Structure 1
Amino acid sequence: MDFFLSLNPIVQAGLAGVFTWLCTALGSSTVFFVKEVNQRFLAMMQGAAGGVMTAASFWSLLAPALAHAEKHLVGIPTWFPAAIGFVLGGIFLRMVDKFVPHLHYAGDHGDTDPTDSKLSRTWMLFLAVTIHNIPEGMAIGVAFAAAASGIEGAALASAISLAIGIGIQNIPEGSALSLPLMAEGRSKRKAFHLGQMSALVEPFGAVIGAAAVLVMQTLLPYALSFAAGAMIFVVVEELIPESQTSGNTDVATLSFMVGFVIMMILDVALG
């Protein structure tokens, strides 16, 4: 741990991104042990992932953004950077959704017309998960940069807890992609590789996010809230709807609450 603490925050963010990618690979490896998709389990895991990301968006990202704005920004309302960044994060994900052809496992969300693309259903499912892994990597990078910059409410332990929380929710996310791909006839090996590859954007996103924020310190509150807005977009647009489509609504909702509490405890206890 002492070695990790001594590293440059960009390197820390990159290693944290590698950790979350490995968690996705762990989840994707379930294709080698499970023969079919258990819809109830999938709904529980998607619900829990939504809860983790919702809690992380506030305690690890929005709260430090508000605290920094209140202490250091003069002449503008405290809520302004958080509000602007949060909305821009959602708009960014919406634009990516609109222009990158992809397909959700539970059906079309009205993002892009699958018939307009020459990509196979497999690759469109892969792109859907990959797109929504982008803000997770960004969030990790921004959190480590905020901790290194001494932002009030943004501790290194909080950034680590964010990475742990995202890693936890990446395990079912990897399963949620690989198992349906196997059910559609893909080999276990290919389903695994596509599942783990969907999270390769996270280490790169973490490094880019940390580097950008460290170079432009004034962007910190905006970047923190931008990452939060992008993550909440993923929760509302994908995780919650997908968890509710199989008829396991109550257990999915309770799983959301459990995931929220787990992430809250991680952040408050470690931060």
Structure 2
Amino acid sequence: MLNYIADSPPFVQALVAGLITWLLTALGAATVFLFKTVNQKILSSMQGFAAGIMIAASFWSLLQPAIESSSDSTYPWLPAAIGFLLGGVFIRSLDYVIPHMHRNAQDSSQKVEGVETGLSKNTLLFLAITLHNIPEGLAIGVAFGGVATGNEHATLLGALGLAIGIGIQNIPEGAALSLPMHAAGQSKWKSFNYGQGSALVEPVFATLGAAAVLIVTPILPYALAFAAGAMIFVVVEELIPDSQSGENTDLATLSLMLGFTIMMILDVALG
């Protein structure tokens, strides 16, 4: 199986990896067929766990390879610094344009980010998670694209490790969207579709990320750091505040550390 993946074009590899992470999101969203309500302790721990995965992936799988890829330049940290900041600016720009509401918003009277709209709260929550998934797709894409460029710091196993880590955190992420929606009165099927649909952007942006690196090979360190910056922005703006908004802050923090450790092990072992 690994040989088949290795022989495929990089944009196909990225697409397949993105589809797998989407399927794992759907698996998490499918828990809505088993449970009617969501336990707040579990929800906080899932959000903390996802944050830990993304923080570790941002460094071990993206920023470190970005810096190592520029080790022969006068300022090896410069592409990583520029790309990282641009990634954050990119997500902030999308925040400014696309209407959405984060999960820690208690009611629709709270401020909705993005342009003014009459969309329902469920749709706004769906768009918030969809925004969250864009940098994950990009991260997968640039990782597989980097392997195809022949960069010695980018490996197929490392790209697979990143995809596996993102896929693991997508399982609780799908549940964290579908279960609260069902508890609020939505049907199981509608809640499931919201949950799984939020990750459809991942295979799309994974393919785009791989294609961008292949077309313009020198942007690899910038692209890796860009994906890292976008992911960190999402973690700090959304995941950590959501996980810390209830009464389970210690559990959420420990879950973050567990997620970080798992992703670190995956990256070091496979990278």
| 1:97 counterpart = 2:95 | yes
The change in CA–CA distance for 1:26 and 1:213 in structure 2 (over 3 A counts) is: same
The aligned residue for residue 265 of structure 1 is 265
Matches within 5 A, 1:151-166: 151-166=151-166
Any conservation in 1 of the 2:133–2:198 contact (CA below 8 Å)? yes
Residues 56-109 of structure 1: CA distance to partner in whole angstroms, max 9, x if unpaired? 0111111111011113x4xx4111100000000001101111111101121189
SS in 1 for 2:150: coil
Q: How far is the alpha carbon of 1:37 from its aligned partner?
A: 1.0
- What secondary structure, in the 3-state scheme, does the structure 1 residue paired with 2:70 have? helix
Q: Structure 2: how far apart are the matches of 1:242 and 1:154? A: 33
TM-aligned CA deviation for residue 151 of structure 1? 1.9
Compared with structure 1, are the counterparts of its residues 110 and 88 closer, same or farther at alpha carbon in structure 2 (3 Å cutoff)? Answer: farther
Cα distance, 1:113–1:149 mapped onto 2, change above 3 Å: closer
Could you tell me which residue of structure 1 aligns to residue 189 of structure 2? Answer: 189
Structure 2 unaligned runs (5+)? none
Shift of 1:243: 0.5
Q: CA deviation at 1:113?
A: 6.5
1:81 aligns with 2:79: yes
CA distance, structure 1, for counterparts of residue 206 and residue 4 of structure 2:
19
Code of the residue aligned with 2:252 in structure 1: it is A
Q: Which AA in structure 2 matches 1:181?
A: M
What residue in structure 2 maps to residue 200 of structure 1?
200
CA contact (8 A) 2:96 2:114 kept: no
AA of the residue aligned to 1:141: G
For residues 233-257 of structure 1, give each alpha carbon's deviation from its aligned partner in whole angstroms, at most 9, with x where no partner exists: 1111111110011210001000000
Moved over 6 A (4+): none
Normalised to the residue count of structure 1, the TM-score between the two structures is 0.96
Shift in Å, 1:152: 3.0
- How many angstroms does 1:150 deviate by? 2.1
SS in 2 for 1:70: coil
- CA deviation after TM superposition for structure 1 residue 153, in Å: 2.2
Equivalent pair of 1:63/1:153 in contact (CA under 8 Å): no
User: Would you say 1:256 and 2:263 are equivalent positions?
Assistant: no
1:188–1:233 CA distance, 2 compared to 1 (3 A): same
Match in the other structure for 1:8: 9
Would you say the 8 A contact 2:97–2:114 is kept in 1? no
Q: Which runs of 5+ in 1 are unaligned?
A: none
Residue type of the partner of 1:17? G
Query: TM-score, normalised to structure 2's length?
Result: 0.96
Instruction: Please list, as runs of the form range in 1=range in 2, the aligned pairs for 1:233-244 lying within 5 A after superposition.
Output: 233-244=233-244
Q: Distance in 2 between matches of 1:122 and 1:208?
A: 28
Q: Contact conserved, 2:95 with 2:114, CA < 8 A, in 1?
A: no
Q: Aligned equivalents of 2:54 and 2:111: distance in 1? A: 23
The equivalent residue for 2:120 is 120
Report the equivalent of 1:45. 46
Distance 2:269 2:169 in 1: 19
- The aligned length equals 267
| Local SS of the residue matching 2:71 | helix
CA RMSD across the alignment: 1.4
Query: Which residue is equivalent to 2:173?
Result: 173
Partner of 1:27: 28
Q: Structure 1 residue 110: deviation in Å?
A: 5.7
- Kindly, what percent of the aligned residue pairs are identical? 60
